[in-house]
């Protein structure tokens, strides 16, 4: 089952429009057109419009970091997926920052996932447990609830397109501290795919792309990408540095090329 490698840059609340444009320019100089890798940039809402006119579409696609589930109405301060539909291919939904700082519930995230799909935008659904939940042995239950609720209003056909990022909250932005071990990650990813297979069939589960996110950098990206069932990475801090992010893309490309031509590397 071949799923295209996906590398997503989540710039979070960093970079103004000018800085974002400069970073795209720098990345464009360093990153080639890769047929086996899809590179997605998620800048702030403000930068989406200008970047949509600047990016080389053979190299990059755009993602929102979030949006509101209603298509329009008196929701001061919000932007809808309907407004984004011609600008972005993807939207991150349910990032732990949204769940933790903005108290987003499982049901709100479900409605956002449904709204993205309704507007032709592919959700990058983030799931993952806190440190306390992990220590209490609740990881599977948390992932189960987050995945099943978020997808519950979609058809099996819709779900084939969805991207799910496993981002354990305890491993986000902890470069010097705790990071997810490949074994933790493998177990969690296997469980997510198993859940989808149970609910929607193996055929659907085989199509869904699963990413890992949490302190990924240019040194360890490949170790994550090599894990069975992992289709890509969701990168925060390291995606703000063009040397680091382009090195992550290069290591994914090297891995894919070695897989395509194993004999050349004997």
Q: What are phi and psi of 34, to 5 degrees?
A: -115, 120
Binding flag, residue 180, ligand 13P (CB under 6 A): no
Per-residue tokens: 175: 């470069």
10 binds ligand 13P (CB under 6 A): yes
Whole-number minimum distance, CB 213 to ligand 13P, in Å? 4
| Residues contacting 117, CB < 8 A, separation 6+ | 123, 154, 158, 161, 162
Among 43, 128, 214, 232, binds ligand 13P (CB under 6 A): 214
Beta-strand runs (E) in 13-85: 37-42, 60-64
Q: State the nearest-atom distance from the C-beta of 167 to ligand 13P, in Å.
A: 5
Interatomic CA distance for residues 257 and 61, integer angstroms: 22
**Is-catalytic flag, 178?**
no
Binding-site member from 49, 152, 173, 202 for ligand 13P (CB under 6 A)? 173
Q: For ligand 13P, which is the closer residue by CB, 159 or 216?
A: 216
Phi, psi of 35 (to 5 degrees): -75, -25
Q: What is the DSSP letter of 128?
A: -
Specify the residue, 235 or 249, whose C-beta has the smaller distance to ligand 13P. 235
If the CB atoms of residues 232 and 236 are measured against ligand 13P, the closer one turns out to be 236
The count of other CB atoms within 10 Å of the CB of residue 55 is 19
Q: Binding string to ligand 13P for residues 72 to 111, with x set by CB under 6 A, is what?
A: -----------------------x----------------
Altogether, the residues listed in the chain come to a count of 266
The radius of gyration of the chain's CA atoms, rounded to the nearest angstrom, is 18
Minimum distance of ligand 13P from residue 264's CB (angstroms): 32
Size of the site for ligand 13P (CB under 6 A): 14
Taking CB under 6 A as the rule, does residue 127 contact ligand 13P? Answer: no
Stretch that binds ligand 13P, among 26-34, 198-206, 228-236, 253-261 (CB under 6 A): 228-236
| Catalytic hit among 95, 104, 129, 218 | 95
Of 108, 103, 185, the C-alpha closest to 143 is 185
Helix 45-54 to helix 17-30 angle (10° resolution) is 40
**Is the Cβ of residue 99 or residue 193 nearer to ligand 13P in the bound state?**
99
CA atoms lying within 13 Å on the CB side of residue 218 = 13
Give the footprint of ligand 13P on this chain (CB under 6 A): 10, 95, 167, 172-173, 213-216, 234-238
The residues assigned a catalytic role are: 95, 167
């Amino acid at each position: 089952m071949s799923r295209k490698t996906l590398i997503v840059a989540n710039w979070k609340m960093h970079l103004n429009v000018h800085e974002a444009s400069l970073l795209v320019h720098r990345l464009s100089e360093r990153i080639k057109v890769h047929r086996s890798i899809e590179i997605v940039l998620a800048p702030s809402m403000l930068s989406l419009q200008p970047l949509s006119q600047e990016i080389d579409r053979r190299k990059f696609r755009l993602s929102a970091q979030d949006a509101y589930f209603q298509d329009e109405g008196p929701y001061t301060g919000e932007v809808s997926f309907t407004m984004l539909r011609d600008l972005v291919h993807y939207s991150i939904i349910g990032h732990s920052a949204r769940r933790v700082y903005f108290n987003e519930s499982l049901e709100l995230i479900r409605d956002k996932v449904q709204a993205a799909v309704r507007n032709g935008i592919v959700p990058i659904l983030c799931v993952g447990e806190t440190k306390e939940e992990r220590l209490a042995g609740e990881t599977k239950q948390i992932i189960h609830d987050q995945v099943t609720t978020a997808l519950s209003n979609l058809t099996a056909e819709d779900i084939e397109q969805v991207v799910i990022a496993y981002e354990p909250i305890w491993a986000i932005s902890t470069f010097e501290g705790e990071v997810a071990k490949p074994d933790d990650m493998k177990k969690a990813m296997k469980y997510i795919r198993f859940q989808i297979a149970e609910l929607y069939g193996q055929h659907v589960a085989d199509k869904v792309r699963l990413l890992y996110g949490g302190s990924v950098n240019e040194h360890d990206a490949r170790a994550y990408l090599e894990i069975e069932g992992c289709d890509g990475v969701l990168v925060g801090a390291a995606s703000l540095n063009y040397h680091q992010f382009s090195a992550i893309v290069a290591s994914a490309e090297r891995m894919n090329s070695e897989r395509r031509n194993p004999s050349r590397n004997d």
